[in-house]
Amino acid sequence: MGGKRQFRVWRGDEQGGQLENYEVEVNEGEVVLDVIHRLQATDAPDLACRWNCKAGKCGSCSMEINGMPRLGCMTRMSTFDENETVTITPLRTFPIIRDLVTDVSFNYEKARETPAFAPPADLEPGEYRMQQVDVERSQEFRKCIECFLCQNTCHVVRDHEENKPEFSGPRFFIRAAELDMHPLDARTDRKEYAQAEQGLGYCNITKCCTEVCPEHIKITDNAIIPMKERVVDRRYDPIVWLGSKIFRRGQTDGSGTGARREETLGAVHSHAGHSHDPRAEAEAERGVNWHRQVPGPQRAAVDARGRLPISEFAFDRPAAPSPFGDDVKFPLPTDSLNYAHPDQPSQQQD
């Protein structure tokens, strides 16, 4: 299994760059990020690459491997033919900073634009209660590690810089869907917002985003399509349209920001967001019972001062022993450290 393998790695910065050839030792069980680390330790010490966890959970090692957007730490070398040259390039949709590092701030700007969770005005933090079934519905979307592989893949922005202002991208469509399905989210215009402000209409459900998601989130089937169906319901179902006019529900305020009208939820919360046509909702969700009545939130148990109990503070047993031993004082003396510390006298090389 081990031995030298051929790699082509993109080197450069915002001024331009090129693919450079490397021959790197690869051992059994290694992933592409291991190869990049070996390259940094040998032939290319200045090769820039972002990573943190090496466990597929921080979402920072996103890159394109043989043209496919992937996590470097989750791409096993064994998936490639032994004689195959593996080409590693930066994400194409975002501006290059250097080598494999791109400027993904587009995504943070879109995150800031996305209206935050809006709890009911009559509930205090600590009073939020929701049923397990509702937790499970949005759990899939909360698995997102913000690797932005889906954002990078989406053809709406991949080669169309001009679409970026109007298009938030699949990562933020799942955020909108998650909040729309949240039983305690008081905003009733998530889908209209997605259509009017996040560019949901640009998406033609090619499912490319779903294909590359390392968390296997069914972005298109479970978020985008239900949102699109609800937009259509709201716009073209005459009964829903009439109802929305009469009750003036679900209207965006046009500001494009998070400042929206809040509604006080009644005694019964439904994760249909109580703004949708229940029949259409049921069809859209294929099997989910939108008619189910969910009990209203109950006040959490608090102490005499009105504060929530924090179990960690009330632990009735000692914590696990310190790996440093019980007699160690912190900070450790710098001369006992086995790594270079600024307070250590500099070590002269002979």
> Where along the sequence are the contacts to ligand FES (CB under 6 A)?
51-54, 56-61, 71-73
Task: Name the residue nearer to ligand FES (CB basis): 53 or 135.
Answer: 53
Among ligand FES, ligand SF4, none, the one that 51 touches (CB under a kind-dependent 5 to 8 A) is ligand FES
CB of residue 266 to ligand FES, shortest distance in Å: 43
Q: Quick one: which of 141, 147, 118 has its CA closest to 261?
A: 118
Among ligand FES, ligand SF4, none, the one that 170 touches (CB under a kind-dependent 5 to 8 A) is ligand SF4
CB of residue 98 to ligand FES, shortest distance in Å: 18
Q: Residues in the site for ligand SF4, rule: CB under 6 A?
A: 59, 144-150, 153-154, 156, 170-171, 174, 203-209, 212-215, 217, 219-220, 224
Return all residues near 31 (Cβ < 8 A) that are at least 6 apart: 72, 73, 74, 75, 76, 77
The bridge status of strand 86-89 relative to strand 3-13 is parallel
What is the Cα–Cα distance from 303 to 208, expressed in whole angstroms?
51
Within 10 angstroms of residue 247's Cβ, the number of other Cβ atoms is 10
Among ligand SF4, ligand FES, none, the one that 176 touches (CB under a kind-dependent 5 to 8 A) is none
CB of residue 168 to ligand FES, shortest distance in Å: 22
Task: Name the residue nearer to ligand FES (CB basis): 211 or 263.
Answer: 211
Task: Name the residue nearer to ligand SF4 (CB basis): 145 or 280.
Answer: 145
Among ligand FES, ligand SF4, none, the one that 219 touches (CB under a kind-dependent 5 to 8 A) is ligand SF4
Beta strands in the chain (DSSP E): 3-13, 16-26, 62-65, 68-71, 86-89, 96-98, 101-102
Residue spans of alpha helices (H) in 105-164:
105-113, 132-142, 149-153, 155-158
CB of residue 49 to ligand FES, shortest distance in Å: 9
Q: Quick one: which of 175, 131, 176 has its CA closest to 292?
A: 131
Task: Name the residue nearer to ligand SF4 (CB basis): 102 or 220.
Answer: 220
Q: Quick one: which of 106, 250, 211, 226 has its CA closest to 174?
A: 226
Task: Name the residue nearer to ligand FES (CB basis): 79 or 322.
Answer: 79
Among ligand FES, ligand SF4, none, the one that 181 touches (CB under a kind-dependent 5 to 8 A) is none
Among ligand SF4, ligand FES, none, the one that 154 touches (CB under a kind-dependent 5 to 8 A) is ligand SF4
CB of residue 60 to ligand FES, shortest distance in Å: 5
Cis peptide before 331 (omega within 30 of 0): yes
Among ligand FES, ligand SF4, none, the one that 250 touches (CB under a kind-dependent 5 to 8 A) is none
Q: What is the largest CA-CA distance in the chain?
A: 86
What is the Cα–Cα distance from 203 to 221, expressed in whole angstroms?
12
CB of residue 86 to ligand FES, shortest distance in Å: 17
* DSSP-assigned beta bridge partners for residue 166: none
CB of residue 13 to ligand SF4, shortest distance in Å: 25
Task: Name the residue nearer to ligand SF4 (CB basis): 153 or 275.
Answer: 153
At residue 32, the 3 state secondary structure works out as: helix
At residue 141, the 3 state secondary structure works out as: helix
